[in-house]
Amino acid sequence: MKRYLLLLFIAAVSVSKAQKIDSIYVNLYTDSLKKGTYNYINIDGLLPNGGYIPLDTSYLIFSASAGKFTGNNLFIDKNFKEEKVNIRVQLRQDTSRVKSFEMYIKRKPDDEILKTPDEIIRDIENRQRKKKKNTDT
């Protein structure tokens, strides 16, 4: 029994060391936040071995000057009037490791009309036909 507990303890220590985060990095997919939707805030952690892992609320504490976090997603109300939001991310295992940054609110409306799947397939087929026709001549 003692041997089993010792092995379990060694395994737990090695797993916890393997997931030690040396530093955190903000890796955003966009340069602005959209109102009325969830905005994913992507944070990566640098491991001692030089690798990176995505971090979520099991590793981080998220806070913002406006909106509400659900996991890594920041929801900004449609009626929000400010031009930017201050976001703060703190590492749970080392509260001295903090990243703070500002994100501006998207001003332009999302009025672009996207193609339907059928339109996309039709465009691809038309391009293939044109390409085949040009190679046949």
Look at domain 18-106 and name its CATH class: mainly beta
The more confidently predicted of residues 95 and 10 is 95
How many angstroms separate the CA atoms of 8 and 104, rounded? Answer: 47
Reported as a single tens digit per residue, the pLDDT across 77-116 is 999 999 999 999 999 999 999 999 999 999 887 777 889 9
120: CB partners within 8 A, 6+ apart: none
Q: Considering only 32-36, 122-126, 131-135, which range has the smallest mean pLDDT?
A: 131-135
| pTM as predicted | 0.67
Contact predicate 85/64, CB 8 Å: yes
Residue whose C-alpha is closest to residue 72's, from 40, 97, 104, 96: 40
Residue 18 has pLDDT above 80, yes or no: no
Beta carbons of 14 and 85 less than 8 angstroms apart? no
- Per-residue pLDDT at 137: 61
How far is residue 56's CA from residue 11's CA, in Å, rounded to a whole number? 23
Domain ranges of the chain: 18-106
